Chains A and B, each alone.
Chain A
Amino acid sequence: MKDVLIIGGGVAGIQAALDLADRGIHVYLVEKEPSIGGRMALLDKTMSTNDCSICILAPKMNECFSHPNVDVLEYSEVIGLEGRAGDFKVKVKRKAKYVDATKCTGCGDCMEKCPTEVPNEYNSYLDKRKAIFLPFPQAVPRKATIDDRYCLKLTKNRCGLCEKICKAGAIDYNQKDQIIELNVAAIIVAVGLSLYEPRDLYEYGYGKYDNVHTWMEYERLINAAGPTHGHLKCSPDGRRPKKIAFIQCVGSRDVKRCPWCSSVCCMVSIKSAMLANEHYNDLESYIFYSDLRVFSKRFYEYSKRGERDYKITYIHARPGEIKEDKRTKNLIIYYEDEKEGKVKELEVEMVILATPIMPAKDTKKIANVLGIETDEHGFIKTVDFLKYPVETTKPGIFVAGCCERPKDITESVIQASAAAAKAAELAG
């Protein structure tokens, strides 16, 4: 049996890896972050089931990492490809973490003492992390990583505190990037997604008004492991919101920006509203939508439950603009009320914008390296929507998850299993 390479360690990559590994096929799982888990590890709860996201993913992450048939190559990137289906030669760059993984136990002492604070992409830039860090508490592998863009020792040859503090002696500033070559029969691309930044939708004040957030920022705010420990806090005094508005299709279904529908945001907003109401029993949520996308199994029932039990009001309108009350920092939403036929104002303490899923930032780069095509929106293209829904334009390379088009966790997992079956045909 031959090996399979999976690029991307999110839920799709992990599912494909486990499916292949469990049947005895050896898998290399290349992930560019220091931990596997992808976007799902950073969500608070999953929609339609309201499961704690990391709680259901972490066992799979651990199973994957410790599986005898899986080699996780974290903090690594695919930089070159040669060959054809059944016999690919792949070059992978393993970036230096400057930490000896065999000694590090993830105790966290170094992170506490590191003096350098940098913007924290894992908390959607809502707070700061250290230059030596764990992306999130449940990271797998639980090993520290030094970000060489910011580390004082690596950039300016100063500090060096972490080396002194580490009881296990795991810090190694002399580590170098490694290039390794893999020989695999098939490749599965599961590089995931990025999210649209709605700064150019001036009418909504994102980036200008303190209490306007994107849905990913909200996930981190309401997450107990996030920057506010799960409490929703509004500017300027940290008070909790009593009314939250969710605005759908901010940047999606928009010919000037992302013309597609992001498939999941309607459900995500309903879930977020439910969570907020669970947190604060009197909290009312207003979801402003054009078409409520509730097409999957039990989604429609979920949306009705939200209305019935969680104080959600669905308003069919896309707001024209949002103004901020300079004193209270509350937001005033202007929308046309269908029932009354006039423009009304709704004052809320927090606005969450549902921004679309876009291809991951490096999708074009990885597509070029692999020699596969992307579609006009930048997602990985499949050969035929009906006949070859997981095959990319190069034989032997398959695709799964949001990098192919926006989809939820269930559909990513299904597609990942399907890609694994196709890969197994070549590897088995």
Chain B
Amino acid sequence: MAEKLRIGVFVCDCGTNIAGFVNVPEVCEYAKTLPDVVYVKENMYTCSNAGIQEIMDAIKEYKLNRVVVASCTPRTHEPLFRKACEDAGLNKFLFEFVNIRDQCSWVHQKEKEDATEKAKDLVRMGVAKARLLEPLEEIKIPVERKALVIGGGIAGITSALSLAKQGFEVYIVEKENKLGGLLNHVHSLYPSNIDANEFLNELLEKVKKEKKIHVFLESEVESVEGYIGNFNVKIKGKKKGEIKVGTIIVAIGAKPYEPMYMYNYDEYENVITQFELENLLKENKIGKWKKIVFIQCVGGRGERVRYCSRICCMNSIKNARLLKKLLPESQIYIIHKGLQTYGTVYEDYCRKAREEGIRFVRVRDAVPTVSSLEKKDGKLVVGFYHPGLRRKIELDADLVVLSTPLIQREDAKKISQMLKVPLGQDGFFFEAHVKLRPVDFATDGIYMAGSCRAPADINECIVQAVAAASRAAIPMAKGYVKAEPYTPVIDEEKCMGCGVCVEVCPYGAMRLVEKDGRKVAENVPAACKGCGACGSSCIHKAINMRHFKDEQIMAQIEEAIE
């Protein structure tokens, strides 16, 4: 037997914010006339301690089973009023918020009569929905206190160390036969010019000592099933395994772009890439170069990829300073389109480079960076247009170093599909929100760090890695996540198993499952955000969103157009 509705309506003055522009007593009187409304109260400030107490007392005294508050905005006050209901013993989802401030009194300050009528309409709509509200539960889903880190470069290692220090088991899965990623191919690190190997080995020592870190070398993640708190991961390779983890950090890094068929890179021996230079420095194979020219932005900033790779300016300056120290008589030029030596430390570093005799030459922001790179009488000649002097300049060189951007690795596509996480237009992983959630994926429980997100130097990789560890630690430390109550209700009779909802879901919270020989859609509450994309995309009308059901919204619309 359906319970008899007993709706309580609380209309707020909000001081003069509402009462100054809407006739609140009139709205209250009107609310009393609505069917199923058994209690109406006008409050000066519903959100004050007194106001909250009144709601709680009224629920108990008048046995209210639905509460409508007509006041300011749910953005700030919904949690407050919901908690009041909960504390009084009423399921907090049996509460409906009507905004008669931002959406009424504040925008109709000169039309008191019309504003009052609109407020009445809004209250009537709110009550119509409240009649159809159902109690919802927020289920707690347990979270495994283990993390998977895909990629064993500087970001991966740092994330793992941070997580281990915070008390969580961590599995690092690394494709190569050793940890370190690109760090293994770099000679030294700016701004302190510390030896990269030394730096890496210090970290590897820490990893070795950390019992909570388990490393899978020469291995890859084969498949990932599940959702936050409960990812089932299959690892293949030299070390196989199946593990269950609560969170995943993607740290696969990036790789340097090979400038094939550009700037005569393939033709001339003395035209090398930055990473090839790093290698020569590592192996101590420095030639007796007298004139060295670095060319920046080779392939970047619109040439082959659209973005700026951030680290190459500083990298070139670091290597230039090193070479100048090793070859004091040499003349070193860095040809750039706009030096990216930002911040305090890097600007300082660049000034020191100038003092040491490194010359910087600016060219226009056009593609290619230089107009010619040819051999003349056995010497390399770099030709470019100097915009300041408005003429073509030619520089001799016996070594030309091409700075190419970092680009996303091929495995990124595979990982993107496997984890159902997006890649951006630039090929790098796409974060939940550029500003406020930069190391989170939109899918809960999966995070990113390092150059797989965007080219990053060591300092940035490390800070991102610790940040990702911090984010991953939240659900693992808490031990549970609350499942979203606004999940879709799927009518399995109507569902045709077309899979559109699975495609459309940004959070990987919908999947197709086998039931009685046919495919039907199923929701994963732990990953769901209640956005309703599935509901609005289902052409078979098989999906109804809890708390925003079709019938609830239709009831409001009908009241509105009455």
Residues of A within 8 A of B (CB): 11, 15, 19, 22-24, 46, 48-49, 51, 56-60, 62, 66, 102-103, 105, 107-109, 142, 167-168, 253, 259-261, 263, 291-301, 304, 316, 338-339, 341, 375, 377, 379, 384-387, 389-390, 405-407, 409-411, 413-418, 420-422, 424-425, 428
User: Top 4 A-B pairs ranked by shortest CB distance?
Assistant: A107-B15, A421-B470, A417-B467, A418-B466
Residue B30 CB within 8 A of the other chain: no
Residue pair B466, A421 in contact (C-beta under 8 Å): yes
Instruction: Please name 7 pairs of A and B residues whose Cβ atoms are closer than 8 Å in the assembled complex, sorted by A.
Output: A23-B478, A296-B310, A301-B426, A338-B390, A407-B343, A411-B460, A421-B466
Across the interface, B166 reaches (CB within 8 A) one of A22, A301, A406, A425, namely A425
**Interface membership of chain B positions 143-157, coded 1 if the CB is closer than 8 angstroms to chain A and 0 otherwise:** 000000000000000
Residue pair B387, A338 in contact (C-beta under 8 Å): yes
Known: A300-B301, A422-B466. A386 touches B192 (CB 8 A): yes
Q: What residues of A have a CB within 8 angstroms of the CB of B415 in the complex?
A: none
User: Of B225-233, B239-247, B433-441, which stretch is located at the interface?
Assistant: B433-441
Residue B167 CB within 8 A of the other chain: yes
Q: Cα distance A189–B167 when bound, in Å?
A: 24
Q: Cα distance A353–B231 when bound, in Å?
A: 51
Q: What residues of A have a CB within 8 angstroms of the CB of B49 in the complex?
A: 102
Q: What residues of B have a CB within 8 angstroms of the CB of A291 in the complex?
A: 338-341, 362
Q: What residues of A have a CB within 8 angstroms of the CB of B109 in the complex?
A: none
Say how far B196's CB is from chain A's closest CB, in angstroms.
10
Count of chain B residues with a beta carbon within 8 Å of a chain A beta carbon: 72
Q: Cα distance A48–B454 when bound, in Å?
A: 15
Residue pair A56, B436 in contact (C-beta under 8 Å): yes
Across the interface, B435 reaches (CB within 8 A) one of A49, A142, A405, A406, namely A49
Residue pair A103, B48 in contact (C-beta under 8 Å): yes
Residue B419 CB within 8 A of the other chain: no
Which residue of A has the minimal Cβ distance to B191? A385
Give 12 new A-B contacts, CB below 8 A, not counting A379-B344, A417-B471. Answer: A168-B48, A259-B351, A295-B340, A297-B434, A298-B434, A301-B307, A338-B390, A390-B466, A410-B438, A414-B438, A415-B463, A424-B166
Residue pair A417, B466 in contact (C-beta under 8 Å): yes
User: Of B75-83, B90-98, B485-493, which stretch is located at the interface?
Assistant: B75-83
Residue pair B344, A377 in contact (C-beta under 8 Å): yes
Known: A107-B17, A386-B458. A316 touches B387 (CB 8 A): yes
Q: Cα distance A60–B189 when bound, in Å?
A: 36
Say how far A359's CB is from chain B's closest CB, in angstroms.
10
Residue B47 CB within 8 A of the other chain: yes
Which residue of A has the minimal Cβ distance to B346? A261
**Interface membership of chain B positions 167-183, coded 1 if the CB is closer than 8 angstroms to chain A and 0 otherwise:** 10000000000000000
**Interface membership of chain B positions 385-398, coded 1 if the CB is closer than 8 angstroms to chain A and 0 otherwise:** 00110100000000
Residue pair A414, B463 in contact (C-beta under 8 Å): yes
Residue B44 CB within 8 A of the other chain: yes
Residue pair B307, A298 in contact (C-beta under 8 Å): yes
Residue pair A22, B478 in contact (C-beta under 8 Å): yes
Q: What residues of B have a CB within 8 angstroms of the CB of A420 in the complex?
A: 470
Q: What residues of A have a CB within 8 angstroms of the CB of B462 in the complex?
A: 386, 389
Say how far A385's CB is from chain B's closest CB, in angstroms.
6
Across the interface, B477 reaches (CB within 8 A) one of A23, A300, A375, A385, namely A23
Q: Cα distance A375–B345 when bound, in Å?
A: 10
Across the interface, A294 reaches (CB within 8 A) one of B44, B308, B362, B473, namely B308
Residue B453 CB within 8 A of the other chain: yes
Residue B428 CB within 8 A of the other chain: yes
Q: Cα distance A103–B15 when bound, in Å?
A: 12
Q: Cα distance A240–B117 when bound, in Å?
A: 38
Residue pair A48, B45 in contact (C-beta under 8 Å): no
Q: What residues of B have a CB within 8 angstroms of the CB of A338 in the complex?
A: 387-388, 390
Residue pair A298, B478 in contact (C-beta under 8 Å): no
Residue pair B44, A167 in contact (C-beta under 8 Å): yes
Say how far B426's CB is from chain A's closest CB, in angstroms.
7
Residue pair B459, A385 in contact (C-beta under 8 Å): yes
Q: What residues of A have a CB within 8 angstroms of the CB of B346 in the complex?
A: 261
Q: Cα distance A411–B435 when bound, in Å?
A: 8
Which residue of A has the minimal Cβ distance to B51? A105
Residue pair B343, A406 in contact (C-beta under 8 Å): yes
Residue pair A410, B390 in contact (C-beta under 8 Å): no
Say how far A325's CB is from chain B's closest CB, in angstroms.
30
Residue pair A24, B469 in contact (C-beta under 8 Å): no
Residue pair A297, B301 in contact (C-beta under 8 Å): no
**Interface membership of chain B positions 438-466, coded 1 if the CB is closer than 8 angstroms to chain A and 0 otherwise:** 11000000000000011000111011101
Q: What residues of A have a CB within 8 angstroms of the CB of B473 in the complex?
A: 23, 421, 424
Which residue of B has the minimal Cβ distance to A375? B344
Known: A46-B435, A105-B15. A260 touches B347 (CB 8 A): yes
Residue pair B45, A105 in contact (C-beta under 8 Å): yes
Say how far B308's CB is from chain A's closest CB, in angstroms.
4
Residue B53 CB within 8 A of the other chain: no
Q: What residues of B have a CB within 8 angstroms of the CB of A293 in the complex?
A: 338, 340, 342
Residue pair A261, B341 in contact (C-beta under 8 Å): yes
Q: What residues of A have a CB within 8 angstroms of the CB of B466 in the complex?
A: 390, 417-418, 421-422
Say how far A131's CB is from chain B's closest CB, in angstroms.
20
Across the interface, B434 reaches (CB within 8 A) one of A24, A48, A168, A339, namely A48
In chain B, positions 342-382 with a C-beta closer than 8 Å to chain A are 342-348, 351, 362
Q: Cα distance A263–B341 when bound, in Å?
A: 9
Say how far A156's CB is from chain B's closest CB, in angstroms.
28
Known: A56-B436, A413-B435. A66 touches B79 (CB 8 A): yes
Known: A292-B338, A413-B438, A428-B167. A24 touches B387 (CB 8 A): no
Residue pair B307, A300 in contact (C-beta under 8 Å): yes
Q: Cα distance A102–B398 when bound, in Å?
A: 75
Residue B268 CB within 8 A of the other chain: no
Q: What residues of A have a CB within 8 angstroms of the CB of B341 in the complex?
A: 261, 291
Which residue of B has the minimal Cβ distance to A18? B474
Which residue of A has the minimal Cβ distance to B387? A338
Residue B536 CB within 8 A of the other chain: no
Q: What residues of B have a CB within 8 angstroms of the CB of A48 in the complex?
A: 434-435
Say how far B247's CB is from chain A's closest CB, in angstroms.
12
Residue pair A410, B435 in contact (C-beta under 8 Å): yes
Residue B553 CB within 8 A of the other chain: no
Q: What residues of A have a CB within 8 angstroms of the CB of B458 in the complex?
A: 386
Residue B494 CB within 8 A of the other chain: no
Known: A49-B434, A409-B435, A410-B435. A297 touches B454 (CB 8 A): yes
Q: Cα distance A420–B477 when bound, in Å?
A: 13
Residue B103 CB within 8 A of the other chain: no
Across the interface, B463 reaches (CB within 8 A) one of A142, A292, A418, namely A418
Residue B165 CB within 8 A of the other chain: yes
Q: Cα distance A410–B436 when bound, in Å?
A: 6
Q: What residues of B have a CB within 8 angstroms of the CB of A406 in the complex?
A: 343-344
Q: What residues of B have a CB within 8 angstroms of the CB of A49 in the complex?
A: 433-435
In chain B, positions 471-486 with a C-beta closer than 8 Å to chain A are 471, 473-474, 477-478
Residue B270 CB within 8 A of the other chain: no
Residue pair A167, B342 in contact (C-beta under 8 Å): no
Q: Cα distance A304–B474 when bound, in Å?
A: 38
Q: What residues of A have a CB within 8 angstroms of the CB of B390 in the complex?
A: 338-339, 341
Q: Cα distance A142–B17 when bound, in Å?
A: 14
Q: Cα distance A342–B167 when bound, in Å?
A: 65
Q: What residues of B have a CB within 8 angstroms of the CB of A51 in the complex?
A: 435
Residue pair A386, B478 in contact (C-beta under 8 Å): no
Q: What residues of B have a CB within 8 angstroms of the CB of A15 in the complex?
A: 436
Which residue of A has the minimal Cβ distance to B162? A421
Q: What residues of A have a CB within 8 angstroms of the CB of B512 in the complex?
A: none
Which residue of B has the minimal Cβ distance to A384? B192
Interface centre among A103, A409, A415, A421 (most CB of B within 10 A): A421
Residue pair B343, A261 in contact (C-beta under 8 Å): yes
Which residue of B has the minimal Cβ distance to A48? B434
Residue pair A168, B45 in contact (C-beta under 8 Å): yes
Known: A341-B390, A421-B166. A259 touches B15 (CB 8 A): no
Which residue of B has the minimal Cβ distance to A340? B390
Q: What residues of B have a CB within 8 angstroms of the CB of A292 in the complex?
A: 338
Residue pair B166, A428 in contact (C-beta under 8 Å): yes
Residue pair B474, A22 in contact (C-beta under 8 Å): yes
